[in-house]
Amino acid sequence: MHPRLDKLLEQLDKASTQSLGYPVSFDFDYQALYPFLAYSINNAGDPFADMTYKLNTYSFERDVVEYYARLTHAPKDAWWGYVTNGGTEGNLYGLYLAREIYPQGIVYHSQDTHYSVSKNLHFLGMKNIMIRSQENGEIDYEDLRETLRVRRDVPPIIFANIGTTMTEARDDLAKIKAILDELAISKYYIHCDAALSGGYLPFIEHQNHWDFADGAHSISISGHKFIGSPIPCGIVLALKENVERISRSISYIGGRDTTVTGSRNGFSPLMLWQAIKTTGDQGLKERAEKALATAAFAVECLQQAGVAAWRNANALTVILPQPSAAIRDHWQLATANGISHLICMPNIRRVQIEALAAEIATEIEADNKAGKKEHEDD
Ligand SMILES: *Cc1c(COP(=O)(O)O)cnc(C)c1O
């Protein structure tokens, strides 16, 4: 191996032991798929249609989306989906479908929405109104109701967060639908950004209303987050009738053009398929439960160290006041507006959290001493 690659490998190895701040699982093993890297696999177009090019993994891709369609209660024979390059593409796709149905529609989303969404809205030229968030990151239903009330003439497109980026707060589709009912709004579209939470919510007990059974028209989930993969990927699911509006038959590929990009990565579906097959429902449930237990442990551990840590119900994300730049850098903690978070993905170990808590405790103690000294000097 080239020495520069050797060095990179070493750096990656080190960085991966100190990564607590981002929602990516590292506990995967896809080495069995190595032989498939020798082929120029391409899943261009619709995985449910045919293609003239035979080096594709459509059937595996279909299994993966079918799996998540079942988990998200997609209506039988009335859904469609594909494996994307990540949650962002799935969100773009959901908004695209919504725009084709309601070209004049206005998109409503909370302040805590992922940063990529405003770019997506800009691409699509969609009007949008930002709704206030509650303290925990969930959409403010009062503000949503009052904002919808004055624009009842325009079909709303609700961009719901099923786990916000910063606090993993989940907007409640039951509450949103109750507001739409109350205002007698019958034409609307609901897209769910379930990048992180959507990967594991189906495996745990929870009170959230977030999937097709609760009124979603499309759902985007990241593949490299809860499931985990060395290449970012995701799953998008949508109601079939809405996809058919945008479908075009393309003679050049001998297939249907229903996706955002042309050529598509056919390797990611293999990884997701392998993870789902080898881990299974029960294994994924255990992984989710273990990660949630780690998150509960993290809150307790940090609180004992004197840190005002908290998390939303059934969330892997633990929020704390931002520690020093040195600690944030060491543990790769994502930070915004004075708060940092760590995300207890299945690969995170308790000793790492204990080490973080100890570092912060030392810092708090040093600060207290300095504060006391300052006081004495007065
Ligand atoms: C990570 C994330 C995204 C973006 O997903 P990618 O897979 O990184 O493209 C969008 N929304 C939320 C809430 C996220 O956490």
Domains in the chain: ranges and CATH:
31-277 (3.40.640.10), 281-377 (3.90.1150.10)
- Whether the per-residue pLDDT at 147 is higher than 90: the answer is yes
Task: State in Å: Cα 195 to ligand 1 middle.
Answer: 5
C-beta neighbour count of 49 within 10 angstroms: 16
Condensed to tens digits (0 to 9), the pLDDT of residues 256-302 reads: 888 999 999 999 999 999 999 999 999 999 999 999 999 999 999 99
Q: Which of 238, 230, 165, 231 is nearest to 196 (CA)?
A: 165
- Whether the per-residue pLDDT at 374 is higher than 70: the answer is no
- Whether the per-residue pLDDT at 375 is higher than 80: the answer is no
Tell me the CB-side half-sphere exposure of residue 87, using CA atoms within 13 A: 29
Report pLDDT for 376.
Answer: 59
Report pLDDT for 254.
Answer: 78
| pLDDT band of 332, cuts 50, 70, 90 | very high
Report DSSP state, residue 76.
T
With the most atoms of ligand 1 within 8 angstroms of its CB, the residue from 83, 119, 161, 165 to mutate is 165
Report pLDDT for 250.
Answer: 73
- Whether the per-residue pLDDT at 246 is higher than 90: the answer is no
| pLDDT band of 252, cuts 50, 70, 90 | confident
Pairing of strands 248-250, 234-239: unpaired
Task: State in Å: Cα 200 to ligand 1 middle.
Answer: 15
Mean pLDDT of 95-124: 96
Condensed to tens digits (0 to 9), the pLDDT of residues 50-109 reads: 889 999 999 999 999 999 999 999 999 999 999 999 999 999 999 999 999 999 999 999
Mean pLDDT of 188-210: 97
Mean pLDDT of 299-307: 96
Task: Return the residue matching tokens 């990660």.
Answer: 291
- Whether the per-residue pLDDT at 377 is higher than 70: the answer is no
Mean pLDDT of 312-328: 97
| pLDDT band of 378, cuts 50, 70, 90 | low
Q: Which residues contact 277 (CB under 8 A, 6 or more apart)?
A: none
Question: Counting beta carbons within 10 angstroms of the beta carbon of residue 151, is it exposed (0 to 12), middle (13 to 18) or buried (19 or more)?
Answer: middle
Pocket of ligand 1 (CB under 6 A): 23, 86-88, 114, 116, 161, 163-165, 193, 195-196, 222, 232, 234
Higher pLDDT, 51 or 146: 146
Separation of alpha carbons 179 and 176, rounded Å:
5
Q: What average pLDDT does the structure give for the chain?
A: 95
- Whether the per-residue pLDDT at 158 is higher than 80: the answer is yes
Buried-state track 103-129, b at ≥16 Cβ within 10 A, e below 16:
eebbbbbbebbbebbeebbeeeebebe
Separation of alpha carbons 179 and 43, rounded Å:
41
Q: Which long-range contacts (CB under 8 A, 24 or more apart) does 98-104 make?
A: 98/157, 98/189, 98/191, 98/217, 98/218, 99/124, 99/126, 99/157, 100/242, 100/245, 100/246, 101/155, 101/189, 101/242, 101/245, 102/155, 102/157, 102/187, 102/189, 104/154, 104/155
CA angle 32, 202, 164 (to 5 degrees): 100
